[in-house]
């Protein structure tokens, strides 16, 4: 539980928070915005700090706690945030790059070969200068009071906060895009005889490009916070996943994945909200959180799809989505497939040809019943591959031909799920036109070596 540090006369730590669960990450995001607002940071900086810490918290999340310390320095007035851990975890390149683009003042130090860090592990520091006016009026009692007045964060609270931040980020990014298009038109109309105007516009053009790039990076990072922070660790099961946003679009998509350990077994899901827009990402977040809630009620896969279909029609009429759900029984010998219009999962069985599990029902959002889930036996060492269409679908190719290419590539690929994900992205994922999810699960009997 995140608790404010004891009051002090100097402007020392205002919060010391251990982070070891997804709920802690929810609370960290909320507390970061609360502290940033209380010390007088601008709204955009509040969102960027909260988003960066949420991204790093999810990326570095382990059962062993990581500590996040918020400190207010008096001279010069600044808010310092320090993430510190004492094991061998390291931030992924994707997360560290995204956070550094959002906050250039981010500093990462690894224990090995770094004199500044004496204990095993590493740390990441982020500093924000506090505006002079806010610094003069800052009272630490008010900061601590703001923290104490906050209510506990839930998954739904976090979804609502992320949605609000995502809307603001996308609105800013769209405004920058519109300005960029206007400047591009002016640059096109500029001729060689007006070099001074051209130079002036070029400087302004570069500034708008940079601002747009920052806002779009913020939107993409916020979108990733809708996805699962961790994957379940289950004996006999190895899971790997890759998420890659589209390279060419200025919008964000609605692809999602989920892995949930239930009483009936391991539940896997991959989905895609039709369309690329802010609203598609919001619908995606609602479906994913609803799926987790419904899965806790132990419904079979096709009933889960019907609940999601009802929710979509009730709260987001006019929207459609494809979702494939696979339930793997606890002994890893049988799985059950229910598929609402999504690409079929590919089952790779040792010593046999790969086969697509072709069961299909209607898309979600059409208010039509889903057929019962279909069961399939699983041989030890089998792999289950689930993807979104961005991996293989292109404008000038036949989808069925691309599915065959995917099947052949997966069959010839490595057996380790992480390595197979990497291989398939290297083969199919260059400059994607759409968001991509590659989700691989290898299954053996529990306790098998």
pLDDT per residue over 235-258, tens digit each?
999 999 998 877 555 456 678 899
End-to-end CA distance of the chain: 37
289, 296 Cβ separation under 8 angstroms: no
According to the model, what pLDDT value does residue 446 have?
83
pLDDT per residue over 170-181, tens digit each?
555 555 555 555
Taking the C-alpha atoms of residue 175 and residue 381, their distance in angstroms, rounded to an integer, is 51
According to the model, what pLDDT value does residue 160 have?
60
According to the model, what pLDDT value does residue 303 have?
94
Strand duo 78-85 + 66-73: pairing: antiparallel
According to the model, what pLDDT value does residue 102 have?
80
Checking if the pLDDT of 19 tops 50, the result is yes
pLDDT per residue over 102-149, tens digit each?
888 899 998 755 444 455 789 999 998 888 888 877 777 778 887 777
What is the overall mean pLDDT for the chain? 80
According to the model, what pLDDT value does residue 1 have?
45
Checking if the pLDDT of 349 tops 60, the result is yes
- pTM value surpassing 0.75: no
Checking if the pLDDT of 448 tops 70, the result is no
At 80, the pLDDT band (50, 70, 90 cuts) reads very high
More confident call, 94 vs 200: 94
pLDDT per residue over 315-326, tens digit each?
888 899 999 999
According to the model, what pLDDT value does residue 138 have?
78
According to the model, what pLDDT value does residue 250 have?
47
Mean pLDDT value of segment 7-28: 76
Mean pLDDT value of segment 392-403: 86
Highest mean pLDDT among 91-95, 259-263, 395-399: 259-263
pLDDT per residue over 41-53, tens digit each?
888 888 888 888 9
**What is the number of residues in the chain?**
449
According to the model, what pLDDT value does residue 119 have?
57
According to the model, what pLDDT value does residue 23 have?
80
According to the model, what pLDDT value does residue 197 have?
45
Checking if the pLDDT of 281 tops 90, the result is no
């Amino acid at each position: 539980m995140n608790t404010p540090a004891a009051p002090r006369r100097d402007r020392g730590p205002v919060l010391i928070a251990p982070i070891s669960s997804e709920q802690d990450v929810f609370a960290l995001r909320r507390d970061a915005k609360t502290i940033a607002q209380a010390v007088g940071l601008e709204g955009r900086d509040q969102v960027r700090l909260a988003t960066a810490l949420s991204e790093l918290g999810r990326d570095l999340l382990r059962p062993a706690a990581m500590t996040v310390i918020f400190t207010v320095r008096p001279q010069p007035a600044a808010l310092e945030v320090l993430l510190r851990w004492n094991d061998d975890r390291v931030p992924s390149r994707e997360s560290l790059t995204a956070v550094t683009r959002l906050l250039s003042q981010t500093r990462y130090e690894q224990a090995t070969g770094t004199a500044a860090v004496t204990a095993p592990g590493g740390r990441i520091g982020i500093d924000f200068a506090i505006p002079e006016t806010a610094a003069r009026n800052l009272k630490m009692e008010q900061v601590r009071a703001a923290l104490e007045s906050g209510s506990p964060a839930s998954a739904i609270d976090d979804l609502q906060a992320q949605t609000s931040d995502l809307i603001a980020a996308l609105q800013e990014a769209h405004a920058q895009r519109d300005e960029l298009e206007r400047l591009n038109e002016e640059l096109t109309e500029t001729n060689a005889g007006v070099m001074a105007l051209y130079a002036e516009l070029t400087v302004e053009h570069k500034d708008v490009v940079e601002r747009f790039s920052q806002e779009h990076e913020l939107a993409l990072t916020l979108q990733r916070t809708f996805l699962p922070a961790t994957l379940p660790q289950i004996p006999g099961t190895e899971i790997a996943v890759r998420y890659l946003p589209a390279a060419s679009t200025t919008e964000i998509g609605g692809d999602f994945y989920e892995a949930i350990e239930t009483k009936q077994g391991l539940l896997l899901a991959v989905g895609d909200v039709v369309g690329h827009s802010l609203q598609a990402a919001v619908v995606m977040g609602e479906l994913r959180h609803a799926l987790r809630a419904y899965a806790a009620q132990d419904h079979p896969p096709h009933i889960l799809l019907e609940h999601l279909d009802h929710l979509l029609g009730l709260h987001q009429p006019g929207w459609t989505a494809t979702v494939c759900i696979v339930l793997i029984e606890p002994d890893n010998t049988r799985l059950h497939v229910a598929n609402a219009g999504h690409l079929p999962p590919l089952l790779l069985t040792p010593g046999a040809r790969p086969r697509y599990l072709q069961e299909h029902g209607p898309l979600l959002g059409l208010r039509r019943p889903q057929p019962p889930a279909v069961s399939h036996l699983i041989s030890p060492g089998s792999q289950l591959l689930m993807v979104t269409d961005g991996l293989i679908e292109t404008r000038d190719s036949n989808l069925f031909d691309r599915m065959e290419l995917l099947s052949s590539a997966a069959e010839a690929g490595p057996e380790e799920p992480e390595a197979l994900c990497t291989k398939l992205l290297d083969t199919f994922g260059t400059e994607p036109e759409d968001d991509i999810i590659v989700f691989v699960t290898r299954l053996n009997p529990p306790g098998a070596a």
